[in-house]
Structure 1
Amino acid sequence: MLTRIAAAAAHFGRDLDHDLGRIGKLIDDARAAGSALLVLPDAAIGGYLADLRHPDPAAFPPALKPDDPIFERIRGLARDMVVCVGFCEADGGDRYNAAVCLTGDGILGRHRKVHLPAAEGIAYRAGNTFAAFDTPVGRVGMLIDYDKTFPESARTLALDGAQIVACLSAWPASITNAAPKLSQDRQSRLFDLYDCARAAENQIVVVSSNQTGAAGGMRFLGQAKVVGPAGNVLARTWAKAGLAVAELDVVQEIGNARRVLNHLRELRPATYRAAE
Structure 2
Amino acid sequence: MKIKLALAQMAPKLGDKEKNLKKMDKLIAEAARKEAQLIIFPELILTGYSLRNQYYSLAENIPGASIKKIEESAKKNNTHVIFGMVEEAEEGILYNTSVMVGPKGYIGKYRKKYLPTHLVFEEKRYFRTGYQTQVLETEIGKIGLMICYDIFFPEVARLLTVMGSQLIVCISASPGTRRGYFETFISSRAMENTVFLAYVNLVGVEDGLVFWGGSRIVAPDGTIIAKAKYDEEDLITGTIDYSDLKSSRIAAPVLRDLRPELYEELFQLSKK
The TM-score with structure 2 as length reference comes to 0.90
1:91 counterpart (75, 89, 92): 89
Amino acid at match of 1:198: R
Q: How far apart, in 2, do the equivalents of 1:270 and 1:128 lie?
A: 22
The whole-number CA distance in structure 2 between the counterparts of 1:128 and 1:61 is 24
Displacement of 1:261? 2.5
- Any runs of at least 4 consecutive aligned residues in structure 1 with deviations exceeding 4 A, and if so which? 58-61
**Kindly, what percent of the aligned residue pairs are identical?**
28
Distance 1:58 1:25 in 2: 26
How far apart are 1:274 and its partner, in Å? 3.0
Amino acid at match of 2:68: E
Residue type at the aligned position of 2:161: A
Q: Does 1:201 align with 2:192?
A: yes
Give 1:149 shift. Answer: 1.0
Match of 1:178 in 2: none
**2:7–2:41: 8 Å Cα contact kept in structure 1?**
yes
The residue correspondences of 1:119-134 to structure 2 (distance < 5 A) are 119-134=122-137
Contact kept? 1:48, 1:61, Cα under 8 Å:
no
Q: Give, in whole Å, the separation in 2 of the partners of 1:204 and 1:130.
A: 17
* Structure 1: segments with no counterpart, 5+ residues: 51-55, 175-186
3-state SS of 1:85 partner: strand
The secondary structure found in structure 2 opposite 1:209 is strand
- Give, in angstroms, the shift of residue 109 of structure 1: 1.9
Match of 1:148 among 142, 146, 151: 151
Native 8 Å contact 1:75 1:106 kept in 2: yes
- The structure with the greater share of residues assigned to helix is 2
Q: In the aligned structure 2, how far is the partner of 1:124 from the partner of 1:61? A: 13
2:20 and 2:116 map into 1 onto residues whose CA distance is 25
2: CA distance between counterparts of 1:133 and 1:248?
17
1:58, distance to aligned residue in structure 2 (A)? 4.8
Amino acid at match of 2:126: A
For residue 48 of structure 1, report the CA deviation from its aligned partner: 1.0
Q: Give the number of equivalent residue pairs.
A: 258
The code of the aligned residue for 1:65 comes to N
> How many Å separate the matches in 2 of 1:210 and 1:61?
24
Q: Trace 1:44-193 onto structure 2 (pairs within 5 A).
A: 44-50=45-51, 56-58=52-54, 62-79=58-75, 80-92=78-90, 93-118=92-117, 119-174=122-177, 187-193=178-184
C-alpha deviation, 1:81, in angstroms: 1.1
Q: CA deviation at 1:243?
A: 1.8
1:59–1:163: structure 2 CA closer, same or farther, 3 Å change rule? closer
The unaligned stretches of length 5 or more in structure 2 are none
Cα pair 2:6 2:237 within 8 Å, conserved: yes
SS of the aligned residue for 2:58 comes to coil
